[in-house]
Amino acid sequence: MPLTSNKDIRPLKPFNRETRFYASIGFDGGIWFGNGILDGANPHYVEARGQSSLAGPKTLQKTNITGYWPKKLANYLTVYDNGFNWTDFSMPVMRMSGLYLLYAEALNEVNGPTTEALSYIDRVRARVGLLGVTESWTRYAKDPNKPASKDGLRDIIHQERRIELCLKARADGI
């Protein structure tokens, strides 16, 4: 997929999604750090369709089948331009966020929703600037009482795990 420094191709965060979406997924017009550019003030933008696109059909009306590319599987130090300069990196076997969510799930299964269980989920969310579970569900959810039940908190933990560990080679948290 070609990258460009043309900032006119799209707004910075067009989908109004949470931070983890933009950190994990490349999409047409999205920011892509790496490929020799490491400065946040001058990022590359994904150019996924059109005549110069390497990732999709050579028309302005079509793109690849999903329009998304995983960022987590590409080392930001790798440079792909007229040549290809691959930089290897190690994929973590275990992630702290996975352990926090696993522990929160175990606490919830034994004791139901407790302050301690919620605190471990909130640690994962706080790292990316999100509000805690209880506050988020109270403000934004259709079911603001979901974190108050064992089944509801289990669903929330599973959702957090799917989002947090998406494209990181593990979605089971272990």
State the pLDDT at residue 173.
47
Same domain, 31 and 69: yes
Same domain, 4 and 84: yes
Distances (CA, A) of 46 to 29, 34, 92, 129, 132: 5, 11, 26, 25, 32
The verdict on residue 24 lying in a domain is yes
Range of the domain at 30: 1-89
Same domain, 47 and 72: yes
**Token pair of 53 as six digits:** 């696109």
State the pLDDT at residue 43.
78
- The total domain count for the chain is 2
Same domain, 104 and 71: no
State the pLDDT at residue 157.
97
d(CA 108, CA 116): 9
Each of the 174 residues of the chain gets a pLDDT tens digit; together they read 455 555 555 545 566 778 888 778 888 778 877 777 777 777 777 776 666 665 555 555 555 667 777 777 777 777 766 766 777 777 777 889 999 999 999 999 999 999 999 999 999 999 989 999 999 999 999 999 999 999 999 999 999 998 888 776 655 545
